[in-house]
Amino acid sequence: MEKVGFIGMGNMAEAIAGGFVCSGVIPAQNIYAFDVAQEKLKKTAQTYGFHGCATITEMVSQVDTILVAVKPYLVEQVVSPLKELLKGKVLLSVAAGWDFVRYQSILDDSTRHLFIMPNTPALVGEGVLLLEETNSLTEEEFQQAKNWFGAVGTVKVLPSSLMDIGGTVSSCAPAFLSLVVEAMADGGVMYGLPRQTAYELASQAMAGTGKMILQRALHPGQLKDMVCSPKGSTILGVASLEKNGLRNAMISAIDTVMKR
């Protein structure tokens, strides 16, 4: 069984490593990790049963595949000194903005690499993991990566030209939709619902709606029409949302992010 090493063990890396272990796709004893926060690393390693390493070179030398999970601005200063050690190995990266072309400039040609863009619901096993179609992995390695990351969510392969917009939609959605949940809960509280109950109702309704759209292959408009009866309360609420620009606000938010 292949050994996998993590450079960085923050929240996202912990979610991914934990998903690997809990799903059984990679045994804990085959996972190694290095992080500058050694005390936190030790606790996380004990929780999941993987190996915490004292140095980055110690970790890289023991594994076949390396997963880079550090802040994007740290990638070059962390990875470049490892160029020789990474020769012939596989590098997977979840650092935003570090796509295939960018990694090509700092890695040896023998290092096969793939850019992955996760989102925060991976922390609860419900993430969206975007894999860049342009990569230098073998077909077997690419299929293995898809299998591994499927342990923490839904895997989608996108061409390089769509990774930015795909990541904007999937990565911004948790924040945007959290605003919707909070606003709906505020409306419930205004009419007497306890705050926590309002959050739970709105959150579960959102989760259930997403599952219906995915599992039944429904167009969102179909689901909206299923709920809106003639002269009913829901269509009145929908009309109010349209009047107040909900749809335009969401599209404009995506447009603003893409123009950053």
Per-residue pLDDT reduced to its tens digit, 136-178: 999 999 999 999 999 999 999 999 999 999 999 999 999 999 9
- Judged by average pLDDT, the poorest of 93-97, 120-124, 203-207 is 120-124
Q: What is the pTM of this model?
A: 0.92
The pLDDT of residue 10: 94
The pLDDT of residue 1: 57
Task: Give me the percent of the chain exceeding a pLDDT of 70.
Answer: 100
pLDDT tier, 2 (very low <50, low <70, confident <90, very high otherwise): confident
Dihedral of CA 225/227/229/231: which sign?
Answer: negative
Per-residue pLDDT reduced to its tens digit, 178-218: 999 999 999 999 999 999 999 999 999 999 999 999 999 99
The pLDDT of residue 20: 93
* Stretch 43-60: mean pLDDT: 96
Average pLDDT, the chain: 96
Per-residue pLDDT reduced to its tens digit, 223-252: 999 999 999 999 999 999 999 999 999 999
Rg (C-alpha) for the chain, rounded Å, is 21
Which residues have C-beta within 8 Å of that of residue 51, sequence separation ≥ 6? 29, 31, 32, 33, 45, 62
